[in-house]
Amino acid sequence: MRQLLKGNYAVAEGARLCRVKVVSVYPITPQTTIVERLSEICASGELDAKFIKVESEHSAMATLVGASSAGVRAFTATSSNGLLLMHEVLHWVAGARLPIVMTNVNRAVSGGWNIWADQTDSISQRDTGWLQIYCESSQEVLDSVIMAYRLAEKILMPVMLTYDAFFLSHTTEVVDVPDIELVDEFLPPYQPEFKLDIDNPRMFGGLMSPDYFYEHRYTVHKASQEALEYYPEVCREFRDIFGRDYDITEEYRTDGAEVIVVTTGTITSVVRITVDKMREAGRKVGLMKLRMFRPVPVDRWRSILGNVAKVVVIDRNLSPGLGGVFADEVQAALYSLENRPSIYPVVAGLGGRDVTPADIEGIINHALSSDDPAGVPLFWGLKE
């Protein structure tokens, strides 16, 4: 059914449709309306789940460690400082191979308070083992929640979905909310092989000596990489049932492009309309939308970007002393190619600063007119 939904409500609908059994969430701007909506639908019985109203994000994720280890589908949502508070437990969840799904509203990380769009929060969690998928629209957020459980429960890895503060969390869009019966068909109940079970007592998460730990870590790595094989399958099945098409990485008008802009999140929509406009003017520009960031789809990035002269990577995140992190990882993925493209790393829109079509055009023109990409990040739109 088509509805007008804000991004956060689309998330709550996603959790409802997946029939999550334990929800543990702590409010933080701009994620709060998810907490409110989930509280309502748990209280009304629309969602038959235990809602644990914890005292912190750290406990939110820790309760899900308990719930997921006991074999039920578990969900949480957070943002920014809340995500950072979870950091220790995020590592734990991935190491324990618990298929928890979490949505994170990308918000700037303080100090110096800022509640607006910025990906530095999720980027800071990239080495935890959580799969990361960046979303562009409310529809994509809702659909991605459903696909995330399918993926997570198959490969036994946690999945984090992220989307921009306010630009998406608080913006109303038309969203097609699928019938729950169709979702049931796509996503069977979670029935793990191992769980806390009185009749089959096991110990989970105990001390591992150097004789075992290294191999354990390798299995976590391999499990993450399985997503590259399995997620396209999930997307195909999703398309067959729901009629909407997703992929690990998406391309837009890349045929014959001289420059491809790599983006994530809502900036992608701005780039898409800018690409249309520039294409109409005869400019050979294209777009690569980076959805899955962990595991790194190296082969996909290479196949899309390997034959283009110039690549612009726009980062709404900052690793101080380095620059944008997506640019760094795209460069690393392309480095071993013989005819690797010139990379133009661009940092833009930190802390919710608007990035307009005019900005994108300016960024692309900069790349097209420059012959010498020193690999030094361009900080677009800095005030004097």
Partner 1 sequence: MERTTQRMIEIPRDVMTGEELWQPGVLSCQGCGGSLAMKLALKGLGRRTVIVLPACCMSIIVGAYPYSTSQVPLLHVPFETAAAGASGVRAALDIRGEEDVVVMAWAGDGGTFDIGLQALSGAAERNEDILYVCYDNEAYMNTGIQRSGATPAGAWTTTTPDKAVKEESKKDIERIMLSHDIPYMATASVAYPADIYAKFKKIRSIKGTKFIHILSPCPPGWQIDSADSIKVSRMATQSNVFPIYEVENGKYTINVYPEKEVTVKEYMKTQGRFRYITDDAVNAAQEWTDRKWEKLKGMLK
* Residue ranges in contact with partner 1 by CB under 8 A: 21-22, 24, 49-50, 52-56, 58-60, 62-72, 74, 88-89, 92, 196-198, 201-209, 212
Which tokens go with 316? 């709404």
Tell how strand 2-6 and strand 172-176 pair up.
antiparallel
Backbone angles phi, psi at 77, to 5 degrees: -145, 145
Q: Which is nearer to partner 1, 184 or 233 (CB)?
A: 184
CB of 38 or CB of 165, closer to partner 1: 38
| Shortest Cβ 98–partner 1 spacing (Å) | 10
The distance of closest approach from Cβ of residue 242 to partner 1 in the complex, given in angstroms and rounded to an integer, is 27
- Rounded Cα gap, residues 290 and 282, in angstroms: 25
CB of 94 to partner 1, least distance (A): 13
In eight-state DSSP terms, residue 319 is B
CB 133 within 8 A of CB 117: no
The whole-angstrom separation of Cα 164 and Cα 185 is 30
Other C-beta atoms closer than 10 Å to the C-beta of 21 total 19
Q: Which residues are CB-neighbours of 344 under 8 A, at least 6 positions away?
A: 310, 311, 312, 313, 363, 366, 367, 370, 373, 378
> CB 212 → partner 1: shortest distance, Å?
6
Please state the closest distance from residue 193 (CB atom) to partner 1, in A. Answer: 15
Q: Is 123 exposed, middle or buried (0-12, 13-18, 19+ CB in 10 A)?
A: buried
254: Cβ–Cβ under 8 A, 6 or more apart, which residues? Answer: 260, 286, 287, 288, 304, 308
Instruction: Tell me how far, at minimum, the Cβ of 207 lies from partner 1, in Å.
Output: 4
For the residues of 235-304, what is the DSSP string, one character each? HHHHHHHH-----SEEEES-TT-SEEEEE-TTHHHHHHHHHHHHHHTT--EEEEEE-EEES--HHHHHHH
What sign does the dihedral 128-130-135-141 (CA atoms) show? Answer: negative
Closest alpha carbon to 132 in 290, 266, 292? 292
Least separation in angstroms between CB 90 and partner 1 = 11
The least CB distance from residue 75 to partner 1, in Å, is 12
Shortest reach from residue 99's CB to partner 1, in Å: 13
CB of 43 to partner 1, least distance (A): 15
Name the token pair of 328: 């760094």
Q: Residue 253 and residue 165: Cα distance in Å, rounded? A: 27
Nearer to partner 1, 96 or 318 (CB): 96
- What SS3 class is residue 188? coil
At residue 200, what are phi and psi to the nearest 5 degrees?
Answer: -140, 70
